[in-house]
Amino acid sequence: MAKTVSDLLELVEMEEHVGGWWHNFITRHSEQRHPEAAVKLPDIQHLLGIWFRALGGDGGLEIASADATSHNARRSLLQRMAGTNKKAELAWRDENALRLPAQIDLFPDVQLNRDLYLWLGALAAMEDEAGDEPWFPHNQRLSRLALARWPGLEQKYLGLVEAHLQQRRLGRWPEDEIAQEQAIRRALIEPGSVDSLPPAGRMPLPVPLWLHPNPPQPTRMPASEPPQDAGAQGGKPRELEEVARKQTEKAETQDSDRGLITVRMENIFSWGEHVNVDRGTEDEDNDERADEVARDLDKISVTRNGKAAKTRIKFDLDLPAEAEDDEILSDDLMLPEWDWKKRQLIPDHCRVVELVARDAPAIPLPERLNRTAAKLRSQFQALAPARVWHRARPDGEEVDLEAYLRFRTDRASGCNVAADNLYRQMNAGARDLACLLLADLSLSTDTWVNDQSRVLDVIQDSLYLFAESLAATGDRFGIYGFSSRKRDPIRIHTIKTFEENYNGRIRGRIDALAPGYYTRLGAGIRYAAERLKEQGAGRRLLLILTDGKPNDLDQYEGRYGIEDTRHAIQAVRALGFHPFCVTIDEKGNDYLPHLFGSAGYVVIRDPMELPGQLPLLYARLTAQEH
């Protein structure tokens, strides 16, 4: 019996070994991939952003990874045996991003794979509102336009076409599929030479040199409220990095007592397009396992069951009790919002609620900041204008000797001059400058920078040192924070008005700050502009401190929020104000040039450096003003 069991175990191990060898062999020979020459999108993403916009691409689009999509094109025998080549990585544009393959390893030459990224960026930069133009003539027209506008691309393009055509091998196909493939080859070699794609019983092989024929379309999900017990599990919210775009669908909530459906054993080896497995209320306790599940899914079904998850990929929204919320100062200010699709400014679209910290006691400056604050005060006092004498005044601290001698000389010479304007007065100089600091207090500020500090803690330290520095110069300044929960309300936290002096009460308000909701940045900028209008200074600076891009629960996510923010910034500049953005968002370079211009923002790489850098940045900005 023992010998029989041993033989069975050896047989199982041999079967596993042979099966693994066969899988590796068949997969390697069925896929036309060259991992040794792969070029990854993150390694070239920054260059692609510059390249795309330099060629005239839409500055409001970010560069993002595209998910592989299914196709029903003909596959070889080896591919069918290995179950490979069911999906293709193609590029496309949507309203928010230029989406490119996360990795290109189609060619054995690294330079060719890199050139394909650049060609796709150039092709997408030619994209326009072509309506319902079919995929085949559309890509030919874009290719012809790109080559005509940028002749230097021709050699790269011809090299890509030659390498790709070697991969598109014809087999014993039906005549209609052969005609279709020959048409694609002619169109690649000479874009615009073929008017239409011949019909065939199957889709043609994917064309990686062209944009996607039918890109995934996002399904707009209704904004959902947080579960009643959100946050009860105490899990730390996280956002996955480098996850390709997923298709979504709305699904009905499943009964909690339902489980896996049993199937007949003979069905185990059958093929299926989709298996809908109801997990009930089971959650992933392991964060890494949750990451793997989210990355592997092709389509994410969203449902609402009102229960908190053990592992949350994106944060839940907890609402404070009214008695614990800040005190409301006003709630009747309405602001417009820019609808970029309709190309119109919607009046009275956002309601502003002005708040101030309830019962915030006066506090001293935190001891950990005393040394840095003293150094900054010393530096900023040098920026304060010197005290100057104002001469020939009708009254003042003392007699103006020059004016008095001139008066006596005139009288001695017989001139009948009045005995006025004989005094002088010492007054402090003043810079004709007002600055409003607008701080993003969205829920993302509750994330941790390190083991000791959250983003909000860093922002609070920055506000302390900023106020200490500006108080030393005598410049007029106000500090406000903001967050939003859709367009009603836009929560504006009053930290320091222009009329208030910086003191312990202001420090108490800074200490009382808490993470808010979302980042409707356009509304925050418009509110700040209203406050700056009330200042009579000749120079008015709007300094925006944020940790991420515009977003909210509704359509403000994505391109809508970006364009509304850009419109608000343009309106601020039209008033003669000077907006400038300081961010600790590592991805800020992807979208901030479109919002503020190349010289209108700065990305602080290490958030812990923000408190010391913010006052010095203000000093440089105001020095430029003069």
- pLDDT tens by residue, 217-226: 655 544 444 4
Residue 296 burial class via C-beta count within 10 angstroms: exposed 0-12, middle 13-18, buried 19 and up: exposed
One-character DSSP codes across 343-358: TEEEEEEEEEEEEE-T
Is 90 exceeded by the pLDDT of residue 571?
Answer: yes
Q: What is the mean pLDDT of residues 394-422?
A: 79
What six digits make up the tokens of 323? 């008695």
d(CA 393, CA 390): 7
d(CA 357, CA 511): 10
Q: What is the pLDDT of residue 275?
A: 43
Q: Give SS3 for 279.
A: coil
Given a contact cutoff of 8 angstroms between Cβ atoms, the answer to whether 297 and 277 are in contact is no
Amino acid at 458: V
d(CA 298, CA 68): 9
Confidence of residue 295 (pLDDT cuts 50, 70, 90): low
Q: What is the pLDDT of residue 128?
A: 74
Q: Give SS3 for 542.
A: strand
Q: What is the pLDDT of residue 234?
A: 41
Is 60 exceeded by the pLDDT of residue 609?
Answer: yes
Given a contact cutoff of 8 angstroms between Cβ atoms, the answer to whether 304 and 310 are in contact is no
Where do the domains of the chain lie? 31-189, 327-382+431-625, 388-427
Strands 398-399 and 423-427: antiparallel
Is 90 exceeded by the pLDDT of residue 334?
Answer: yes
Given a contact cutoff of 8 angstroms between Cβ atoms, the answer to whether 437 and 478 are in contact is yes
Q: What is the mean pLDDT of residues 445-450?
A: 90
| Cβ count near 329 (within 10 Å) | 11
Q: What is the mean pLDDT of residues 129-142?
A: 84
d(CA 319, CA 327): 15
Q: How high does pLDDT run on average in the chain?
A: 80
Q: What is the mean pLDDT of residues 115-122?
A: 95
Is 90 exceeded by the pLDDT of residue 156?
Answer: yes
Half-sphere exposure of 113 toward its Cβ, with a 13 Å CA cutoff?
A: 21
Q: For the chain, what is the total number of helices (H) and then of strands (E)?
A: 16, 20
Is 60 exceeded by the pLDDT of residue 399?
Answer: yes
Whole-number percent of the chain with pLDDT over 70: 72
Lowest-pLDDT choice from 58-67, 132-141, 590-599: 58-67
Q: What is the pLDDT of residue 382?
A: 74
Q: What is the pLDDT of residue 67?
A: 81
Q: What is the pLDDT of residue 27?
A: 53
Amino acid at 523: A
Strands 87-88 and 92-93: unpaired
Q: What is the pLDDT of residue 510?
A: 96
Which uninterrupted H or E stretch holds 248?
Answer: strand 247-250
- pLDDT tens by residue, 250-292: 555 555 444 444 443 333 343 434 444 444 444 444 555 555 5
Chain centroid, CA 173 distance in Å:
47
Residue holding tokens 């083991």? 451
d(CA 507, CA 323): 22
Q: For the range 372-378, what are the long-range contacts, defined as Cβ-Cβ under 8 Å and sequence gap of 24 or more?
A: 372/465, 372/611, 372/612, 373/464, 373/465, 373/468, 373/469, 376/465, 376/468, 376/469, 376/472, 376/612, 376/615, 377/468, 377/469, 377/471, 377/472
Residue scoring higher pLDDT (424 or 81)? 424
Q: Which residues contact 179 (CB under 8 A, 6 or more apart)?
A: 198, 200
Q: What is the pLDDT of residue 122?
A: 94
d(CA 5, CA 400): 115
Quick one: which of 102, 130, 220, 62 has its CA closest to 559? Answer: 62
Is 80 exceeded by the pLDDT of residue 5?
Answer: no
- pLDDT tens by residue, 530-543: 999 999 888 999 99
Question: Candidates 3.40.50.2000, 3.40.50.410, 1.10.3720.10, 3.40.50.300; correct CATH number of 327-382+431-625?
Answer: 3.40.50.410
Residue scoring higher pLDDT (34 or 242)? 34
Q: What is the pLDDT of residue 263?
A: 42
Tell me the helix, strand and coil percentages in the chain, rounded to 5: 40, 20, 40
Rounded (10°) angle between helices 455-473 and 610-625: 40
Quick one: which of 354, 358, 356, 357 has its CA closest to 330? Answer: 354
Name residue 485's beta-bridge partners: 487
Quick one: which of 527, 565, 542, 505 has its CA closest to 354? Answer: 527
